[in-house]
Amino acid sequence: MMMKQQQHQQQQKQHIAIFTTASLPWLTGTAVNPLFRAAYLAKDGQRRVTLVIPWLTLNHQLLVYPNNITFASPSHQEAYVRRWLEDRVSFPLGFELLFYPGKFATDKRSILPVGDISDAIPDEEADIAVLEEPEHLTWFHHGKKWKTKFNYVIGIVHTNYLEYVKREKQGRLKAFLLKYLNSWVVGIYCHKVIRLSDATQEYPKSIVCNVHGVNPKFLEIGLKKLEQQKLQEQPFTKGAYYIGKMVWSKGYKELLKLLKKHQKELAGLEVDLYGSGEDSEEIKEAARKLDLTVNVYPGRDHADPLFHNYKVFLNPSTTDVVCTTTAEALAMGKIVVCADHTSNEFFKQFPNCRVYDDGKGFVRATLKALGEQPSQLTEQQRHELSWEAATQRFISASDLNRLSRADSNLSKRSLFASSSISVGKNLEDMSAYIHFLASGFETSRTAFGAIPGSLQPDEELCKDLGLTLKTPSRSSLKED
C-alpha cells in the first residue's frame, strides 16, 4: 500500500527532463549551467528532474575534453560529473543523469546529437522538456515531435549563433539563412522560449530573462573579500585580468584592439590573460607586439585561488549572451569593465559593473577601476547572482507553477508519438513533417552541416549506451 502511494506521488510530480549540448569535463556554459539548473530544481524534492547529456565515443572525447580526460563508460563520466558538482554545492543531489548519443563536429567546435535523442525519456515518463540551446538540439532532429512527446517544451537560448556566423566567410549570407532555420525549428519544437538576454536572436512568443546563477564557490570567495573590506584589510593586491576560451571571437580581438589603440593613455598598465584554445599562439604573438605588459597564461578554473586577489576584470566581448565569467567576477567582489551591450544588461544593476561605449570610455573606466576599491555587495545583490534566485526566475518565466502534470496530460496528442508519421492539418504539423522528411536524408542533412552518419547511432555508440543498433531506413541512404 505504501509503495503504491509513493508511486502515485511520483507520478503526480512534474517530471522535468533537461537536455543540453555539452558535458563536463568540458567547462563550457552549456555543460555547467544546465547541471546547476538540474541540481537546484530538484533541491526541494517537489519535482522529479532528469538531466540528459551527450555521450561521446573515445575518439570524440579526445577531440573535446581537456587534459586528455576520457571515460570508459557513461557510469564513469556520471561519477565524474556528480563529484564535480558535489564539491560546489552543499546539499544532496536529487536528480537523475542520463546520456544521449552525440558526435563532436570539429568545424563547428560543437557536440551534435545523433539519432532521436528524445528517446532517452520513455514516452510514458515524458512530461516537461527543457532544451538548452533548442536550435542546436533540433537543427538535425529526425524523430518524434518534441511538442507531442512532451506536454510542455521550454527552450533556453544560450548562444548568439548569428554573431559567430557573421565573422565567417560569406558570413552575412550564412547568418541570414541561419536566422530563418533557427526560427523554423524553434517554432516547431518549443512551446515557450526564454532568451538569456537581448543579445540573442529574437523568436516569436519569447521572453528575455537571465535564468543563470553563479557557482556558489564564487559567492563564498566574495564573502571572504567582503570580510576583509570590513576589517579595512587590502582584499585585492593584483590589477587587471581577463579569462576566457582563447579564440579571437571570445573578446580577445576587441581587448587587444583597445589596448593597442590606447597604449599611450594606458601606459604602465599590466594585464594578465588566461585561456586555452585554437587561437592561443596568434593571441600570444599579438600581445607581444604591444608596448604594454600583457601576460598570456593557460586557462584555469576561475575559482582558482590565483584569481582571488585581482581587482579588475576586463571583458570587452560582445559575442556572449550573458557572460558567466562576468557574473563570477562580480560575485567575487571585483570591479568589471565591460562594453555597453545588451548582453551586459543584467549586470548593470550592480555598482561594480562599469560600462563603456567607446575606446575613450574604456580607458576612463579601466583607470578609474584600478584607482579605487570595489563597492561592497549587499545581501540582495549577492542573492540576485545566486542559483536560488536564477531558479525562481526560471520557474516564473517558464510558468512551471501554473502547469500541473494532471492538467498537462489532458493536452497530450498522439500525432508523431509513434514511429508512423502522419501529416497534420495545421501549418505547424505540416512544417514539422517537412523538417522530418528533410532531416531523414543523408545528403540533405550533410548539405546543411550535419555530421555524416549521424542519423542513427553507430555500433560503437550503441554498445556504449546499451542501445539497439538500427538498420538505416531507405530515406537515410545516400542517393546515387
Residue 163 banded pLDDT, cuts 50, 70, 90: confident
Q: What is the pTM of this model?
A: 0.87
Return the percentage of the chain with pLDDT > 90, whole number.
69
> Directed axis angle between helix 324-331 and helix 29-42, to 10°?
60
**119-128 pLDDT, tens per residue?**
999 999 999 9
Residue 405 banded pLDDT, cuts 50, 70, 90: low
Query: Long-range contacts for 281-288 (Cβ within 8 Å, ≥24 apart)?
Result: 282/248, 283/246, 283/248, 283/252, 283/256, 286/256, 287/256
Q: Per DSSP, what are the bridge partners of residue 323?
A: none
Q: Would you say residue 5 has pLDDT above 60?
A: no
CA pair distance 135, 155, nearest whole angstrom:
8
CA pair distance 232, 227, nearest whole angstrom:
9
CA pair distance 480, 176, nearest whole angstrom:
31
Q: Would you say residue 428 has pLDDT above 90?
A: no
Burial of 285 (0-12, 13-18, 19+ CB in 10 A): exposed
Instruction: Say if CB 344 and CB 316 are below 8 A apart.
Output: no
- What is the chain's mean pLDDT, rounded? 89
φ/ψ of 215, rounded to 5, equals: -50, 130
**340-397 pLDDT, tens per residue?**
999 999 999 999 999 999 999 999 999 999 999 999 999 999 999 999 999 999 999 9
Q: How do the domains of the chain map onto residue ranges?
A: 15-213+390-406, 216-385
Q: What is the CATH number of domain 216-385?
A: 3.40.50.2000
Q: Which of 299, 301, 303, 374 is nearest to 336 (CA)?
A: 374
Same fold, 15-213+390-406 and 216-385: yes
Q: Is the domain defined by 15-213+390-406 classed in CATH 2.60.40?
A: no
Q: Would you say residue 473 has pLDDT above 70?
A: no
Q: Would you say residue 478 has pLDDT above 50?
A: no
CA pair distance 349, 461, nearest whole angstrom:
46
CA pair distance 414, 51, nearest whole angstrom:
25
pLDDT at residue 319, rounded to an integer: 82
